Amino acid sequence: MNKIRAYSIFSLVLTMFLMLLSINVIANSQIEKEPIEEQYKKSGYISDKEAIEKFKNVYNQDPNINNIDQHVPFQVSISKGSFDENEQKLDLEYLNTKSRALFKVMVFPIEKEIPLGASEKIGKMEDGTPYSYQRDDKFYIFRFNSENYAYVLSSNFLGDNKNIKEKTFLEIAKEIKNQ
């Protein structure tokens, strides 16, 4: 049980680290005047569509997020993604370069699901699917599973995201599950 709790805490910290890393890319592009597209490229990111296709090709299944960018709660300036076959993780980022609003989507095979953290709250979607969420002063993390995949949706609180609510994540999760 302690191993599960330790893994859960580690996984949550890793997720938050990845979110902070993404925010750092945004901040660095402002400081260094290097185009943010270049910073993403240097970090190994490709287009979100290419990353989704790589994920599909490895798992021979659709993660149902082909049009996720249409459900992001702000106008997207940059859409990037990466797929790490070793970590078995699809990572998508949607950014508004003016407001610095960021929306992040991570998808894992269900067997790689990140266990719940102690501070996460739990709820149920209309169809009965359980989900968890956590809000702190820098971001919002929302997690749920489908039959084959574990999803993590997260957002900072900048720009149009400053008033993002659990309801927004529920609507996006519903779209993913209904595709």
Full-model pTM? 0.80
- Within the chain, residue ranges assigned H as helices are 2-32, 36-42, 48-59, 166-178
pLDDT score of 12: 46
Low-confidence ranges of the chain (pLDDT < 70): 1-32, 179
pLDDT given at position 29: 47
Query: Quick one: tokens of 59?
Result: 């798992």
Alpha-carbon distance 174 to 56, whole Å? Answer: 20
Sheet strands side by side (includes 102-109): 46-47, 78-84, 89-95, 102-109, 149-156, 139-145, 130-135, 121-124
Specify the pLDDT at position 20: 46
Residue with tokens 């798992």: 59
Residue 90's nearest CA partner among 48, 125, 128 is 48
Kindly compute the dihedral angle of the four CA atoms of residues 11, 8, 103, 156, in this order, to the nearest 10 degrees. Answer: -100
pLDDT of residue 61: 87
Contact criterion met (CB below 8 Å) for 55 and 83: yes
What is the structure's pLDDT at 8? 45
Give bridge partners of residue 135 from the DSSP assignment. Answer: 140
